[in-house]
Amino acid sequence: MAELTRRRFLQTSAGIAGAAAGLTTLGALRSGRLPSGLGLAGQPEVAAPASVMAYVRASSTGEVRLMVGERSVTVQDPELVRRLVKAAG
């Protein structure tokens, strides 16, 4: 996270993850993993929640945990992880 403040990282991550969550049904969030490589296009749109936090524990796994409200879901999405890591510098 060098050269990037934690706040900016979280704001950036939340923005990206929020966009992703906006394309994902809450039902899908509740249900757990998406198949690896499965795009989010084609999912019906829902209103974005107030805030979403994205947590990438190990980018090599291609997994990102999204936390929204009192729920979390682990999404298998290497492309999303790649974009988050890139945004984090």
Partner 1 sequence: MSSHREAPGISKDPVADNTDLYAFVSPDQPGTVTLIANWIPLEGPDGGPNFFEFGDDVLYEIQVDNDADAEPDVTFQFRFTTMVVDPNTFLYNTGPITSLDSSTWNRRQLYSVTRVTDAGNTVLGTGLSCPPCNIGPRSTPDYAALAQAAVHSLGDGIQVFAGQRREGFYVDLGAVFDLADLRPFQNLHVIPTPAAPGVDATSSVNVHSIAIQVPKQLLCRDGSMPGDPTSPASTIGVWASASRRMASVLSSDSPAEQTGPWVQVSRLGNPLINEAVIPMGRKDLWNSLPPSADAQFLSYVQHPELAGLLPVLYPGVFPHLAGLTAPRADLVAILMTGIPAGIVPGFQNFTGSRIADMLRLNMAVPPAASPNPLGLIGGDAAGFPNGRRVADDVFTIELRAIAGVTYPLVSPSYVPDAAASLVTDGLTPGAGRYIAQFPYLGVPLDGFDVPG
Nearer to partner 1, 17 or 81 (CB): 17
> From the CB of 52, what's the least distance to partner 1, in Å?
8
Dihedral in degrees, nearest 10, Cα atoms 5, 69, 75, 88: -10
Nearer to partner 1, 41 or 50 (CB): 50
Which structure tokens are listed for 48?
Answer: 């974005």
> From the CB of 9, what's the least distance to partner 1, in Å?
11
Query: Interface residues with partner 1 (CB under 8 A)?
Result: 7, 10, 51-53, 55, 67-72
| CA distance linking residue 29 with residue 83, whole number of Å | 20
